[in-house]
Amino acid sequence: MTAPQAEPTTRDRLTATALSALDQADFNARLGHVFEHSPWVAEAAWAARPFASLDALHGAMMGAVVAAGPDATLALLRAHPALAAPGPLTPDSVREQGEGLGALGLTEANAAYAARFGFPFIVAMRALPDPAAIPAIMAVRMAHDPAAEKAVALREVAAITRFRLHDLVATEDSLTVHVLDTARGVPAAGLGLTLSRDGAVLGRFTTNAEGRCPAPLLAGPALVPGIYEIAYDVAAWRGAGDPGFYDRITIRFRVDPDPGHLHVPLLLSPYGYSTYRGS
C-alpha cells in the first residue's frame, strides 16, 4: 500500500468525475487520508470508478470497508484517535476535535470504552451541535452490546468521512429536480416536464418512481448562465377526473456563472404547490 501524500487545498479540488479519471496513484494521493490511517480504502474504491457524484464516491469507499471484512474494519476503527488523548493527530483529526475537549475529562471514559469494545470511542464531531454532549453519548453507547456498538462506530466513520470528502470534492455544475405528491405523501412518478433556456426548449423529461429524473437535466458546460424555465404538465399526469386546480406549473429562475449544483424541488398538491432552491 502507498502512503497518502500531502492533502490538496480547496483551490485544487476536483469533481467526482475528474477524480474518476485519475490513475490509482494520483487518486490515492488525494483521497488516501480520508479514512484515518487507512489509505487502502481509497485504493480499493478506485476500482469502482467512474463516480457520478460525491455520494457515489463515498458509497464506493464505504463499500470497500464493508467488503474488506471484520478484521479490516476493526483495524480501521482502531486507527482512530481517542478524543482529547495526548499524542500526534492527523490534520483532519486536529480540525475536527478542535479545542476544549480536555475540559470534558474523558480519560477514564475513553479507557473504559476501549476496554469494553476493543477500539476507541468514535463520533462525528462536526455533526454535534454541542461537544459537551459527548459524555452523555458515551454513557448511552457503553450499554450497547459489542456487535451493535461496532455498527454504530462504523456509521460514525461514514459521517466523518462524508464531511471530509465534502471538503475535498468540488461540486459539479448540474441541474436536478425532485417532485413530491404531498396529497398522497409519495413521489410524483410519471410527471412530464419541459426545460427551456431564454425561451428555447432544451429537452423534455419524465420523473421516475422516486419523483426524480434519472440523470441531471443539464450538467457540466451545458449549464450556462441564462433564464431557465421548468414547465410541469400536471394535467396529463393527474388524468381525467382527478381533482386539481393547476394544469401546468412553470418555475422560472436565473442561473449565474459557476452555479454549482442547482436542485429545484416541487411540492405538489391539488390546490397548491411550493418550490425552493435545494441542494
Strand-pairing partners, residue 263, are 176, 278
| Residue 237 and residue 188 in contact, taking contact as beta carbons nearer than 8 Å | yes
Our answer to whether residue 263 is catalytic in this structure is no
CB contact set of 119 (below 8 Å; sequence gap of 6+): 74, 77, 78, 80, 150, 153
Domains in the chain, start-ordered, CATH in brackets? Answer: 10-168 (1.10.3330.10), 174-275 (2.60.40.180)
| Cα–Cα dist 214/207, whole Å | 8
Mean pLDDT by 10 residues, the chain (279 residues): 44 82 95 96 95 86 96 96 81 78 83 96 88 91 96 94 90 88 91 95 94 86 92 88 85 90 92 89
Among 160, 150, 149, smallest CA distance to 58 is for: 160
Q: Which of 33, 37, 58, 80 is catalytic?
A: 80
| Residue 249 and residue 266 in contact, taking contact as beta carbons nearer than 8 Å | yes
Q: What is this structure's pTM?
A: 0.66
Alpha carbon of residue 83 to chain centroid: 24
| Cα–Cα dist 19/90, whole Å | 23
